[in-house]
Structures are given as C-alpha cells and as structure tokens.
C-alpha cells in the first residue's frame, strides 16, 4: 500500500493501492492540491491519519498534544495558534461578561 501525504506538513491524506497514481486517485481534485502531495510505501495493515504523519520520509506517531489538536481542530496548530488559544477566554468568562453587560444595561435604564 501507499500513503499519500501533504509534503508541506506531513499530514496523511489517504491510503492508496500500489497500482494507483496520485493523478488517477485524485482525478477530480485541483492541480494545486495534487502538487502538494507525495507518496510513501508501507506494509502496515491500517494507519490512522489522526495518529500518524510522515516526517523526513518516515511514518511517525503523533504525540498526545498533536493528537488532541487533530481531534479538536482537525490540524496540528502552529506555535502562534497555541498561544492564541491560551489567550482565548473560557466559556465561563464569556458568560460572566455577558451577564455583567446585561446588568449594567439595566442599571443604566433605571438611572
């Protein structure tokens, strides 16, 4: 079998039979998309795209942080995206702020 992966980030796109090519397998996809793809051969029975990626021509398992990001966001976040996620307010903080705004609006109407 062959693994089709994105050359830019190493993420696995598809598991493809040995007798297929990228051009044939992704016939209806845009050329720009197909240019980003590469193939690596493997002998594994099944490889989950959420648990593995291709790094330096080898199939490697994602660490726990990367797996969690794949499940949550559908991709591995960059350093900048991780920092932004830490800065985002929690659901409780947003609810508290909304309630405060509502109370201040009511007080303003009374005064």
Residues 71 and 87 in one domain: no
pLDDT digits (tens, 9 = 90+) for 85-110: 889 898 999 999 999 999 999 988 88
Q: What is the spatial distance between Cα 42 and Cα 3, in angstroms, rounded to a whole number?
A: 7
- At 41 the pLDDT is 85
What pTM, to 2 d.p., does this model score? 0.65
> Does position 48 have pLDDT exceeding 80, yes or no?
no
Name the CA dihedral angle for 97, 103, 105, 106, rounded to a multiple of 10 degrees. Answer: 170
Q: What is the pLDDT of residue 102?
A: 93
Q: Are residues 62 and 104 in the same domain?
A: no
Do 21 and 34 belong together in one domain?
yes
Report the number of distinct structural domains present in the chain. Answer: 2
**Domain hosting residue 13, numbered range:** 1-77
Average pLDDT over residues 49-64: 83
How many other CB atoms are found less than 10 A from the CB of residue 109? Answer: 7
Query: 44 and 91 share a domain?
Result: no
Closest to 29 in 3D by CA, of 4, 11, 1: 4
CA–CA distance, 62 with 82 (Å, rounded to integer): 16
pLDDT digits (tens, 9 = 90+) for 4-27: 898 888 888 888 888 888 888 888
């Amino acid at each position: 079998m062959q693994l089709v992966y994105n050359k830019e980030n190493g993420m696995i796109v598809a598991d493809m039979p040995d007798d297929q090519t990228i051009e044939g397998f992704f016939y209806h996809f845009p050329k720009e998309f197909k240019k980003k793809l590469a193939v690596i051969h493997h002998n594994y029975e099944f490889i989950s795209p959420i648990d593995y990626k291709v790094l330096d021509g080898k199939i490697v398992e994602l660490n726990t942080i990367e797996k969690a990001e794949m499940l949550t966001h559908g991709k591995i976040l960059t350093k900048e995206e991780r920092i932004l996620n830490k800065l985002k307010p929690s659901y409780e903080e947003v609810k508290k702020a909304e309630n405060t705004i509502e109370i201040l609006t009511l007080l303003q109407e009374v005064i």
